[in-house]
Amino acid sequence: MTITPESDWLDQVHWDDRGLVCAIAQDAQTGRVLMVAWMNREALMKTVQMQQAVYFSRSRNRLWHKGEESGHTQHVEEIRLDCDGDVILLKVVQQGGIACHTGRESCMYQRLEQDHAGHKWVSVDPVLKDPALVYAGYDSTSQKP
Amino acid sequence: MTITPESDWLDQVHWDDRGLVCAIAQDAQTGRVLMVAWMNREALMKTVQMQQAVYFSRSRNRLWHKGEESGHTQHVEEIRLDCDGDVILLKVVQQGGIACHTGRESCMYQRLEQDHAGHKWVSVDPVLKDPALVYAGYDSTSQKP
């Protein structure tokens, strides 16, 4: 009898030389790409356990439970892996409708446009909430998801 | 009088230490995430010039005009940059409806599922065309987009 170790699915992810994999969060309803972050093995395990997105913050060098400061957690409905095993796609319900630290729905808010002077990146999506309020206004003791 | 150099928009991308940025191709109509690849500065310039996705292949260490072998080019309708400047989002029309080298619509075809034995990645999307035919059957001289 062959027993499949529960960690097989984690071993099938192609972690890079830093032990990370690229993770895309996509709105489960609208299909909008909300953000891209990184996961290590522990982040992916915790994401599955909690059914909420947990990333690995490269700048802070620690696990980052998305929404831990803002309250803007991501409930994970589905997890996919790409053909090469090096990209994770999360289909999420975005708490508060704001994924970006700038207070916008999505981090992908700069569109390449062209005018007589050439190309430029233009911010085309509205700020839904002042980022100062996003972080100052969240009381994690009363608003835990 | 200030003249904005045409390369400013390229300098605003946060190229990593390899000179690369992560690029997501998303179906412009359905919103489906099709694939993730990498771009260097030249790849992004060519993508804008051609209005077709051009990536940088890390394995082949050269520019990769998506579809150059398969005919499955990606017509680019919109290009976005994220808040950190290190992710590009392309909204594309996928020629042939197949983005993946496995002959599937999207590279994100493995879904994490759980049964009594634990978690596993399950291929849940159909192969639309035998990959052998995808690459053998394309005559670039007659089918140039």
**Chain-wide mean pLDDT for chain A?**
91
Question: Is the pLDDT confidence value at B12 over 50?
Answer: yes
Is pLDDT of B56 > 90? yes
Within a 13 Å sphere around the CA of A105, how many CA atoms are in the beta-carbon half?
Answer: 13
pLDDT at A31: 98
Question: Does A78 sit within 8 Å of B119, measured CB to CB?
Answer: no
**Which residue has tokens 């804008």?**
B48
Instruction: Name the burial class of residue A127, with classes exposed (0-12), middle (13-18) and buried (19+) by CB atoms within 10 angstroms of its CB.
Output: middle
pLDDT of residue B130: 92
- Predicted pLDDT at B138: 57
- The residue whose two tokens read 């999506």 is A125
Strand order from edge to edge, sheet including A87-94: A33-39, A21-27, A87-94, A74-81, B110-115, B118-123
**Beta-carbon separation of A82 and B108 below 8 A:** yes
How high is the mean pLDDT of chain B? 91
Contact A39, A19 (CB under 8 A): no
CB B37 within 8 A of CB B25: yes
- Asked if the model's pLDDT at residue B113 lies above 80, the reply is yes
Give the integer Cα–Cα distance in Å for A78 and A89: 8
Q: Does A109 touch chain B (CB under 8 A)?
A: yes
Cα(A34)–Cα(B24) distance, integer angstroms: 12
B4 vs B7, which has greater pLDDT?
B7
CB contacts, 8 Å: B48 with chain A: 112, 119
Q: Is B123 left (phi over 0), alpha (psi -120 to 50) or beta?
A: beta
Does A76 contact B at CB distance below 8 Å? Answer: no
Q: Give per-residue pLDDT as tens, B70-88.
A: 999 999 999 999 999 999 9
- DSSP calls for chain A: -----TTHHHHTS---TTS-EEEEEEETTT--EEEEEEE-HHHHHHHHHHTB-EEEETTTTEEEETTTTTS--EEEEEEEE-TTS-EEEEEEEEGGG--STTSSS-S--EEEEEETTEEEEEE-S---S-HHHHHHS--TTT---
Reply yes or no on whether the pLDDT at A125 is more than 90: yes
What is the distance between the alpha carbons of residues A24 and B25, in angstroms, rounded to a whole number?
A: 12
Tokens of B142: 């007659």
What was the pLDDT predicted at B145?
Answer: 37
Q: Choosing among A121, A123, A128, which should be mutated to test the B contact, i.e. which has the most B CBs within 10 A?
A: A121
pLDDT over 90 (residue A10): yes
**Cβ <8 Å between A22 and B22:** yes
Q: What pLDDT was estimated at residue B7? A: 82
Does residue B5 carry a pLDDT above 70? Answer: no
Confidence of residue A134 (pLDDT cuts 50, 70, 90): confident
Any chain A CB within 8 A of the CB of B135?
no
Tokens encoding B95: 């020629």
Asked if B58 has any chain A CB less than 8 Å from its own CB, the reply is: no
Residue in B with minimal Cα distance to A4: B117
**What distance in Å separates residue A116's CA from the closest CA in chain B?**
10
B46 CB near a chain A CB, below 8 Å? no
Confidence of residue B142 (pLDDT cuts 50, 70, 90): very low
**Which residues of B fall within a CB distance of 8 Å from A32?**
31
Give the pLDDT confidence score for residue A97 in this predicted structure.
97
Report the alpha-carbon distance of residue B28 to residue B39 in Å, rounded: 19
Q: Residue B48 pLDDT > 70, yes or no?
A: yes
pLDDT greater than 70 at residue B137: no
Q: Over the Cα atoms of chain A, what is R_g?
A: 17
Taking every pair of C-alpha atoms in chain A, what is the biggest distance, in angstroms?
Answer: 70
Dist CA B58 CA B36 (whole Å)? 13
- For residue range A62-110, list pLDDT tens digits in order: 999 999 999 999 999 999 999 999 999 999 999 999 999 999 999 999 9
B80 min Cα distance to partner chain A (Å) = 4
Contacting residues of B for A131, CB less than 8 Å apart: none
Count CB pairs under 8 A between chains A and B.
Answer: 113
Mean pLDDT of A7-18: 94
Over residues A7-14, mean pLDDT: 94
Which of A4, A8, A111 minimises the CB distance to B80? A111
